[in-house]
């Protein structure tokens, strides 16, 4: 049973479920629908991790032989069945939530997400930049799911609108960070034959895209404050991630969009911190003092 728990990557699945809870905090509403939705996202993310390991079986057999499938603790057949069960639980929860909120668009979103997550492991993961965009969109969608439930349950259009903005922020920031990480690893990826976006199209265009995305992320951070849902604490705290996002953008410009590996490594760390502090700003900024 330990292997079946491990292959879920519960820490990652838990992180994916947190945006639903965060939107409940923003909307000052936590009910059965929100609880079930967070569990749904956990199972959906877990299913995605399992099916990803199924498709990466041959690669993991070389690079990560201790993982449940290549180590023989879980067979490929059982892993596929396990993924199907997890997907089924998530969709069943989608049906229940759709009945509770009286809106079956929610179920359609969940089914479409399941298809996209499967397609990511099967097709999109190997596509430069496209794979990163798909991951970013799915992370952003977790926030929108929370906002959509509050829209249907409470009629709260403002929270739903903010959930779209936060989802956009999460998607843009994630894609930017993945690009920066790929730029950091470009030399090793070239030697290893990896087909990342910077390897195929160069650092310059990758840095330009990353800079544009970071400036967009900063704009969304500022736009969120105008929603009226956040207190002054949000404005104070968000200054930190804004600065952490602008620093890489400025460094790219200063290096004429040819940053070295050390710069990219530092920038990737800054962006990771920026994403965490942004969520903290949203949570604290939602508290009614």
One domain for residues 183 and 117: no
One domain for residues 181 and 274: yes
One domain for residues 85 and 169: no
Flag whether 151 is in a domain.
no
One domain for residues 173 and 273: yes
In DSSP notation, 30-48 reads --HHHHHHHHHHHHHHHHH
CB 288 within 8 A of CB 28: yes
Which residue, of 109, 127, 145, is where some domain finishes?
127
CB 28 within 8 A of CB 286: yes
Residues whose CB falls within 8 Å of the CB of residue 8, separated by 6 or more in sequence, listed in order: 46, 49, 50, 86
Which residue, of 75, 110, 127, is where some domain finishes?
127
Q: Specify the number of domains making up the chain.
A: 2
Flag whether 147 is in a domain.
no
One domain for residues 58 and 173: no
CA proximity to 43, closest of 122, 97, 102, 99: 97
One domain for residues 266 and 164: yes
Residues spanned by the domain of 236? 156-289
Which residue, of 73, 108, 127, is where some domain finishes?
127
pTM for the full predicted model: 0.92
One domain for residues 16 and 92: yes
To which residue do tokens 């491990």 refer?
6
Flag whether 243 is in a domain.
yes
Q: What is the CA radius of gyration of the chain?
A: 20
Burial group, residue 228, by CB count within 10 angstroms (0-12, 13-18, 19+)? exposed
CB 59 within 8 A of CB 185: no
Cα–Cα distance measured from residue 135 to residue 123, given in angstroms and rounded to the nearest whole number: 13
Measured over the CA atoms of residue 196, residue 200, residue 201 and residue 203, the dihedral's sign is positive
Flag whether 30 is in a domain.
yes
Give the number of other CB atoms < 10 A from CB of residue 59: 11
> In CATH, what number is assigned to the domain containing residue 108?
1.10.357.140
CA proximity to 134, closest of 120, 150, 114: 120
One domain for residues 57 and 20: yes
pLDDT, mean of residues 42-64: 89
More confident residue, 67 or 288: 67
pLDDT tens-digit profile of 123-170? 998 888 999 999 999 999 999 999 999 999 889 899 999 999 999 999
Range scoring the smallest mean pLDDT among 143-147, 184-188, 211-215, 260-264: 184-188
Band (289; pLDDT cuts 50, 70, 90): low
One domain for residues 170 and 93: no
One domain for residues 77 and 178: no
Flag whether 144 is in a domain.
no
Flag whether 49 is in a domain.
yes
One domain for residues 161 and 289: yes
Flag whether 281 is in a domain.
yes
Q: How confident is the prediction for the chain on average, in pLDDT?
A: 92
One domain for residues 199 and 285: yes
Residues whose CB falls within 8 Å of the CB of residue 37, separated by 6 or more in sequence, listed in order: 20, 93, 97, 145, 146, 149
Flag whether 54 is in a domain.
yes
């Amino acid at each position: 049973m330990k292997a079946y728990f491990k292959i879920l990557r519960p820490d990652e699945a838990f992180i994916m479920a947190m945006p639903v809870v965060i939107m409940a905090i923003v909307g000052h509403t936590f009910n059965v629908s929100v609880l079930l939705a967070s569990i749904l996202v956990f199972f959906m993310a877990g299913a995605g991790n399992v099916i990803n390991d199924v498709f990466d079986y041959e690669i993991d057999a070389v690079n990560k032989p201790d993982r449940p499938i290549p180590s023989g603790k879980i067979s490929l057949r059982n892993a596929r069945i396990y993924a199907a069960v997890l997907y089924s639980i998530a969709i069943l929860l989608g049906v229940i939530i759709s009945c509770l909120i009286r809106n079956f668009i929610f179920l359609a979103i969940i089914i479409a997400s399941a298809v996209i997550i499967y397609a990511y492991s099967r097709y999109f993961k190997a596509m430069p930049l496209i794979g990163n965009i798909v991951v970013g969109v799915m992370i952003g969608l977790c926030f929108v799911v929370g906002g959509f439930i509050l829209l249907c349950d409470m009629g709260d259009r403002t929270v739903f609108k903010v959930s779209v903005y936060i989802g956009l922020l999460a998607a843009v920031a994630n894609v930017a960070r993945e690009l920066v990480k790929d730029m950091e690893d470009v030399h090793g990826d070239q030697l290893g034959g990896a087909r990342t976006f910077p390897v195929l199209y160069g650092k310059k265009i990758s840095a330009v895209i990353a800079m544009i995305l970071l400036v967009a992320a900063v704009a969304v951070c500022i736009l969120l404050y105008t929603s009226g849902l956040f207190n002054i604490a949000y404005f104070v705290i968000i200054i930190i991630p804004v600065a952490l996002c602008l620093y890489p953008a400025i460094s790219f410009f200063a290096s004429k969009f040819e940053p070295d590996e050390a710069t990219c490594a530092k920038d990737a760390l800054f962006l990771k911190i920026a994403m965490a502090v942004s969520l903290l700003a949203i949570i604290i900024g939602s508290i009614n003092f």
